[in-house]
Chain A
């Protein structure tokens, strides 16, 4: 009898404990109940469901804060976090004045903890890129334990407009936000369609080839990259097409001897027409453009292999901001301009209009540079 009673009491205690754990654990789920009033599929394919619009977020990296500013959501940004230690402070100095004075400078993305997010901002939402320079899987697990919802949006490249629309949904699709989104789309689509029309009206360049180079990664963009797709919509074909180089990602390392050899072979069989180099955030002067080119030469070395564009000064260096992100529509104009296509658009006017519309302070020149003197210098085009 005694044993039976003890067994029943033990069972009751165990069940009570299990129920308690279940109740506590279910209270720390991935934020929000399942009323399902707001729902999007983020850039990683995860369905994000919110019971009410977002009112405060922490962002990781630079494209998302820019997108939020375009949508007039400066007050909703509570914390800014960046990825690279060496540019952490300079990025903060650049971006923080664009937002509410109360915005908090968060720790580096990779060292951010759930506790720091909650303690420093009180936020339960973080918006971060999908794959590049973003929070890790193990961070995500611990964030979810704290009830922090992770929303992955790149706000960059192919998905820029879609991600911008998703942001409008997440923040409640207010009239102000929707108007801002529509205004940006009109600007973006207007520029791209103008460029596309100018390209269609110009002689065909389908028999031309180009190389597209990313200076920070020392790699060529292959045909799967967004930048290559953008360029091919305006001018020729990517010279890496048909070379057999592996298409594991959007780029192929330039330092590999095999890459250099197949490019040189292609250039020897039929000269490559142009080289486009994507610079960095500091490529805003002719000397900076020259430094970027010399960096390229040190890796390839292009001068050693005498690629045709380097002999004919058909090398162009672009500031990174117009090749991706919220100013990527300017990239269309820049590429068209260096390819001799008259779009009737001015890069400086477009950027001035962008600044006026959205309160940014982007420089209106120092974005496009052309090689001169056989690689001894660069001249500013725009």
Chain B
């Protein structure tokens, strides 16, 4: 990767390694780029370390040597011996690894989606959560849980063995309904706020209104639910990573990858958008189209993850804000940084939830709500940052 606009194009490694003359304009720019790149590398490193820590720790602690042996034995069975306990491999490859990959995909999606949505609507309080996507997904899940097959007028039951995962009909419906209603919410928002000169405020207001409508639907579903269904709805709304299987990862990975690539390609346009709709238009950006496509892709990515995890709140708000405080607002760097920060926040939270009352576990949503609340109280109370919101 080359940095800089002069004839002397420098590589990323040069930028990190070489001394920079910050007295020059070019030096200042290179210094800021280096800071951003180093920050991204730092959170990437922390995420990788946390990945292995999360593999090792849990209801049953697996010694690090056995973790390494499990990986080594899987890759080179003739060379590396098996871990000391047979079930360690089961725990790692059938439970913890799919879970950590789900954490990575979900954290990345929510962090990126939050950052992109904030850039598109130029509002720092926008996220998939505040735009009603999570509420709509919760409504879909609630409908599936309470009314199940009667909601679609047919009787479906049983379990499908896909080889890589078992899917029980109730779970299939829950996933499909959650995803479908999340997408419906963004379509409704765009329909409500359509028009050539729709303001950003109108989009946000539409999201709030849609959120309230779906909230009413959730309350109605809870009213007609029995004890077991009510508990299931409540646990789904709290959000957790217990639904992680390799089949889940197989479904989510291509969605998150493709959406991530698309959104990264829009990061330059979002930089232009930060100067205002008029300035962006004059630079050749189709603002309405960018906003529409960006919101749909962000919703697609987050809805796919939320369908499996339930509601995971605040990451879409916290991750971009933390990164913005450190590396500024350049979307080309902010997007990967926000994605990785989302991974880091969700990894720490999920690990905490698995350890705090082990071998039991708390839903990760509880920790995120507490963390998110404290973070924003600090942000609001901190004069330096509250003015920037």
Residues of A at under 8 Å CB distance from B? 83-86, 108, 110-111, 132-133, 216-217, 243-246, 252-253, 255-262, 264-265, 268, 291, 294-295, 297-299, 301, 303-306
Contacts and interface: CB of A to CB of B under 8 A. Distances in A.
A258 B166 contact: no
A148 to B, nearest CB: 21
B34 interface: no
B91 A264 contact: yes
B45 interface: no
Contacts of B166: 294, 297-298, 301, 303
A85 B358 contact: no
A305 B94 contact: yes
Contact of B95 (A133, A257, A294): A257
B58 A258 contact: yes
A217 B234 CA distance: 13
A114 B354 CA distance: 45
B5 interface: no
Interface stretch (B17-25, B145-153, B194-202, B315-323): B145-153
B285 to A, nearest CB: 45
B86 A256 contact: no
Nearest to A268: B87
A261 B95 contact: yes
Interface string B201-214: 00000000000000
A110 B221 CA distance: 12
Interface in B139-166: 146-148, 150, 157-159, 161, 165-166
Interface string B161-177: 10001111011000000
Contacts of B95: 257, 260-261
B242 interface: yes
Given A258-B359, A305-B94, A291 B159 contact: yes
A304 B159 contact: no
Contacts of B235: 253
A294 B360 contact: no
B224 A258 contact: no
Interface string B228-249: 1101000100000111010000
Contacts of A257: 58-59, 95-96, 99, 241-242, 354, 361
Given A86-B148, A258-B59, A262-B60, A133 B226 contact: yes
B359 A262 contact: yes
B387 interface: no
B90 interface: yes
Given A252-B360, A258-B59, A294 B168 contact: yes
Given A216-B228, A261-B91, A268 B150 contact: no
A265 B60 CA distance: 8
Contacts, number: 100
B7 interface: no
Given A217-B228, A261-B59, A255 B242 contact: yes
A113 to B, nearest CB: 14
- Most B-side CB within 10 Å, residue of A85, A264, A298: A298
B250 to A, nearest CB: 15
Contacts of B359: 243-245, 258-259, 261-262
23 contacts: A110-B223, A217-B228, A243-B359, A245-B360, A256-B242, A257-B95, A258-B58, A258-B59, A259-B59, A259-B359, A261-B91, A262-B59, A262-B60, A264-B90, A268-B85, A291-B159, A295-B170, A297-B159, A297-B166, A298-B167, A298-B168, A299-B168, A304-B94
Contacts of A291: 157-159
A86 B147 contact: yes
A303 B166 CA distance: 10
Given A246-B360, A264-B91, A298 B228 contact: no
Contacts of B242: 255-257
A108 B245 CA distance: 38
Nearest to A300: B166
B354 A258 contact: yes
B361 A294 contact: no
A85 B87 CA distance: 43
Interface in B95-126: 95-96, 99
B8 interface: no
A252 B361 CA distance: 11
A5 B148 CA distance: 71
B9 to A, nearest CB: 48
Closest 7 CB pairs of A and B: A258-B59, A294-B159, A298-B168, A258-B359, A298-B166, A84-B226, A261-B59
Contacts of A299: 168
B226 A83 contact: yes
B357 interface: yes
Contacts of B224: 85, 108, 110
- Most A-side CB within 10 Å, residue of B91, B166, B171, B243: B166
A258 B359 CA distance: 5
B87 A265 contact: yes
Contacts of B157: 291
B357 A268 contact: no
A301 B157 CA distance: 18
Given A298-B166, A298-B168, A299-B168, A256 B58 contact: no
Interface in B241-287: 241-243, 245
Contacts of A303: 166
Contact of A133 (B146, B227, B361): B227
B92 to A, nearest CB: 11
B66 to A, nearest CB: 13
- Most B-side CB within 10 Å, residue of A86, A111, A252, A301: A86
Nearest to B360: A246
Contacts of A259: 59, 359-360
Contact of B159 (A108, A244, A258, A295): A295
Contacts of B228: 216-217
Given A261-B59, A262-B59, A298 B159 contact: yes
Contacts of A243: 359
Given A245-B360, A252-B360, A294-B159, A268 B86 contact: yes
Interface string B43-87: 000000000000000111000000000000000000000000111
